[in-house]
Structure 1
């Protein structure tokens, strides 16, 4: 809806942009972004006072929006100049190329239009006239900020403020960049400095109060806001919205209610207010009153998606009322994708799948690449007509661009081919997907010898240092199902090895195996480092369950003498099911599949380590076989509880997850004959039938 305004601004059609912006604001007076672009159009049209008043209206509606404060800083800088209009500024520089002010204001206007390179060029021209002027820092900093270099922008602004400490515009820009980067305490202090100089600046008061509240000090924030709330003429609906949210944050529901309701009645309909009202109505048990209030708003603003989403949030998921609201939304705004998405979800919850199919087609017609709708269509076709699903996904692949979308579609195609009995084709589709994802995956670890000359297993002694459990399952084992059980039971599980910041101990890098074998790692130091890392990982003691990415018997060089009280807990399935599961569904470890043959050989070698460990009882270990119970949450919880010494673990709602049934590998006996031949010997050693 903003595109016509932005397009006109880019083309320099100021009158056209102004007309479009005024029309949008008339239609959506509570839309802070619409007001922002109206302010920009007014600024470029030379209406500086109006531009400042408009951006202040936007900030009153959304005082926490950093972009609006950045825009206001630009308006402030530009509105203090005599050369108001772009044409006049251009003429000024033609008549006198040394006019510093003209260049700076032109750079400001270019910045407001999003023309970053032009703003940079004009600022360089200004710098030739007066290279030491602190006002140059504003454009320089904003260019850096828009290019993603926020820290450099802060450095530039801080340096300029040292030379011009009372420059309100530079202080405003500094605070706004701090705010945009999430440095709330620094932003608060910077805006407090401005408030000390301009105590009557209502917009700054609102912002400081908001920042204090966001840092968990709502009572203090209300004290900051008190002078504004006491002055009726300046107590805007935005201020009432903020005050209501702060009272709600402080748990003062009775004080919050009239303020939030007054803001809603005054035209504020942003997500922050609606979210606060939803919380208030739920906590006070006043959902019917909330529904009435939102219905009144919808009567005036029937196309506001946030109002409809809030209205839906007051109904129970899957209820008849939720379906009725979704239908009304889709009928009122038939081209709103979110309305169709809500209706689709409500229809599926109600079991009205045929009508949901129709809505699915509407979504796809409106957006052919709609992931939710396409996923549902493929799943429905797989249920009803797998070969039709194959044909549909193949048609999508023809139009797919980019590796990520192709990988997703190849996964769907493999599933459709599996259901259609086209097993060789399914293997080919999943193999192609694995090749596309290889650069995003971890390389397969090098596997050490399964049998080695290990040091003696030390005495376990007492449990003073804890009795840790090491949880491991090779790719395709279904280890994530057991993790879901442990998470649901709130067990002392460490899963950070699979996150963005894994521990840096010796049990994490694949290279540990080779380094242990080469004598480059002291086994005692390896265990000591593991222990030392536990507190930082959220485990003050050693009674933890550490979920490992990999296992190799080479670790016994360290664990047997240094951690004899440890215990390895392994999740296992038929290795051939594991390979198929890994190929079709992936694995938490995100290990690459260079080819199906290579993956099969690697999995056989990794599982040989387990077979040797069990046969030789080389380390305390328990194997949990989940064959046949993969999708049964209750039985999974019972199996894990038994392995943990008879613990009674609660049943998680969805521990079963996706995946094939036990024994599904037999459908692929021909398509995966080579890899299965490599896996069968170790499968037999682990207790599985040969065929």
Structure 2
């Protein structure tokens, strides 16, 4: 009878197999195997409830049969009863510690709940039974992939896929291993095979669309998308949204609208959908249609923040229409802080200062200390009662938690500065520097100028490698120059200021001492720098390298070993540089123990710049940012003039800094410090007073 049932199941004749199994259970009701095969036949028939009952009968007759518990786990998994399946598998391995399939199923369950360590442990147990199994290799590869060991995962999964070319789980993991190595074509091939094996996996088809787009294959992406949307299961809001994105990327805004407009009702507050709709409407010039459709949806969904923002985006900035939209927003959500902040900004755009302040006070009444409201209140106080503005920020500082006090202290100093209290501002800034000094870098050492320099190496006119080093002392605005340069060049590297800086001599404050004692040779310094470039994404040596520090002593290496290099030094009036450093800090987190020490160090740094320039020690360019530090357009024009290249415009250069000549407000409170800086300021071409 068992053989007849097996033959029927192989022919997918589930009804025949069920009939045969029922005859067997009727003839031998105490035979566990009869109930087991009835359960298998019922499961293949799709009757999980009756299969569960039949298997329960088998287990009641043979509760210690490990194979029955394993089959029970498989049936529970088919019904997505994961916890019960896990219990059944535990029972299986307890009864038969050599049940390889149970360990594998347990490992896959552990991976499904993202318990990588447990999956690894179960894989090791399975390896004691069948160490060379490709099914086991699949588990090992997926564990490695989850742990970020992409190379090992790819090797193990590739080998396993050769033995199990039609295992969907294995191919799925292999696809993600290829993705981890950015091998998009191979990933696509693996995922397409998964879809062939499991055509109902429409989510994976969406990934195939994205992979095709990433490879520039818009036609392939569109074809895959059409296949997905042609099925009832695949025509989901998520896939429609992806289809709209695809049409926009292909320059077809009208077709994108056809996919996206129905989603307004289904996903009225979905930000990506709204953003794509706005792009499509804008490209088609259908602003009025956008207003009408968004207003219609807003009539039924008045509490959706992103929907209101989308409607506001259609109104001209600062217009009466924008005001009307925001008033409706506030009527629907009267205590919604982003709506209040928008109304406050509109008041300011329309020169309604009192009304803007009133909204600001309403904001801080709802959320005391909210930055937008507090800043607007302080601006109002500065305009009419500067001392009150200072007192207001001081009160905020006194009541603030420790983690925000440094930012508030910086702000307090800025408000004191604007209120005409330079002594108080300086005191505030120095107190903040004193608090931060233990966690900051020491000021880089500075070498004395030698009696002579090594000969500069020669460079052929057609030499293809022309690296550039960029540096500016604290307060120079070098970070603003870098912002504009980065917009125009993919080879600019600012990683020396990030969490993973290059490990070379230009990053190490001990380099000068090592050069002086021959612990590091000039050739080794430059070679170290070159060796780090590939890891920084530079293959040919052409890099714009923003340096953490500079000292002319580095020319002992650069003149003979890197004569093709160029140095860009950013400066402004040294006295403005000192005030900005004290007020706002610097890109390099250098410790400031006193204003006098900072002024001395800055003076020596700039004296080296003067020597570099006057003696033409190295190919260089001095960029003066005095009149451009707060103006993106002016900064772009300045760099265009300096390099003879046009730079893309940038929206902002960062927080507003001190205007040129601001140092004069501190002429009395920093008189001693300015006395150290004035001589070098004059040598750089700035006025003495």
After TM superposition, is the score higher than 0.5?
yes
Aligned partner of 2:21 in structure 1 is none
SS of equivalent to 1:80: helix
Aligned partner of 1:361 in structure 2 is 361
Q: Which has the higher contact order (CA 8 A, sep 6+)?
A: 1
Aligned with 1:496 (options 463, 470, 494): 494
Aligned partner of 2:410 in structure 1 is 411
Query: Residues 104-130 of structure 1, C-alpha deviation per residue, up to 9 Å, x if partnerless?
Result: 999999999x9x99x999999999999
Aligned partner of 1:476 in structure 2 is 475
Aligned partner of 2:30 in structure 1 is none
8 A Cα contact 2:123 2:139, kept in partner: no
Aligned partner of 1:612 in structure 2 is 611
Aligned partner of 2:77 in structure 1 is 80
Aligned partner of 2:423 in structure 1 is 424
- Partners in 2 of 1:172 and 1:261 — Cα distance? 33
- Partners in 2 of 1:497 and 1:290 — Cα distance? 43
Higher mean Cα deviation, 445-454 or 225-234? 225-234
Map 1:274-423 to 2 at 5 A. 274-403=274-403, 405-423=404-422
- Partners in 2 of 1:369 and 1:377 — Cα distance? 11
Tell me the CA shift for residue 281 of structure 1: 1.2
- Partners in 2 of 1:567 and 1:129 — Cα distance? 61
Residues 220 and 342 (structure 1), Cα distance of their counterparts in 2 relative to 1, 3 Å cut: farther
SS of equivalent to 2:321: helix
Residues 508 and 169 (structure 1), Cα distance of their counterparts in 2 relative to 1, 3 Å cut: closer
SS of equivalent to 2:570: strand
8 A Cα contact 2:120 2:143, kept in partner: no
- Partners in 2 of 1:224 and 1:648 — Cα distance? 41
SS of equivalent to 1:472: strand
Residues 267 and 642 (structure 1), Cα distance of their counterparts in 2 relative to 1, 3 Å cut: closer
Tell me the CA shift for residue 554 of structure 1: 0.8
Query: Residues 637-673 of structure 1, C-alpha deviation per residue, up to 9 Å, x if partnerless?
Result: 676666668x899998766972223443343345435
- Partners in 1 of 2:340 and 2:386 — Cα distance? 26
CA RMSD of aligned residues (A): 5.4
Residues 79 and 382 (structure 1), Cα distance of their counterparts in 2 relative to 1, 3 Å cut: farther
Tell me the CA shift for residue 441 of structure 1: 4.8
Residues 562 and 182 (structure 1), Cα distance of their counterparts in 2 relative to 1, 3 Å cut: closer
8 A Cα contact 1:323 1:346, kept in partner: yes
Map 1:88-487 to 2 at 5 A. 191-213=191-213, 216-232=216-232, 235-267=235-267, 269-403=269-403, 405-438=404-437, 441-457=440-456, 462=461, 464=463, 470-483=469-482
Q: TM-score, normalising length from structure 1?
A: 0.69
Say whether 1:659 aligns with 2:657.
Answer: yes
Residues 331 and 121 (structure 1), Cα distance of their counterparts in 2 relative to 1, 3 Å cut: farther
8 A Cα contact 1:81 1:105, kept in partner: no
8 A Cα contact 2:303 2:333, kept in partner: yes
Higher CA-based Rg? 2
Aligned partner of 2:554 in structure 1 is 555
- Partners in 2 of 1:292 and 1:266 — Cα distance? 17
- Partners in 1 of 2:180 and 2:643 — Cα distance? 48
Higher mean Cα deviation, 78-87 or 247-256? 78-87
Aligned partner of 1:68 in structure 2 is none
Residues 429 and 261 (structure 1), Cα distance of their counterparts in 2 relative to 1, 3 Å cut: same
Residues 192 and 435 (structure 1), Cα distance of their counterparts in 2 relative to 1, 3 Å cut: farther
Unaligned runs of 5+ in 1: 1-47, 50-75
8 A Cα contact 1:527 1:558, kept in partner: yes
Map 1:24-43 to 2 at 5 A. none
8 A Cα contact 2:434 2:592, kept in partner: yes
- Partners in 2 of 1:454 and 1:415 — Cα distance? 44
8 A Cα contact 1:473 1:572, kept in partner: yes
Q: TM-score, normalising length from structure 2?
A: 0.69
Say whether 1:603 aligns with 2:602.
Answer: yes
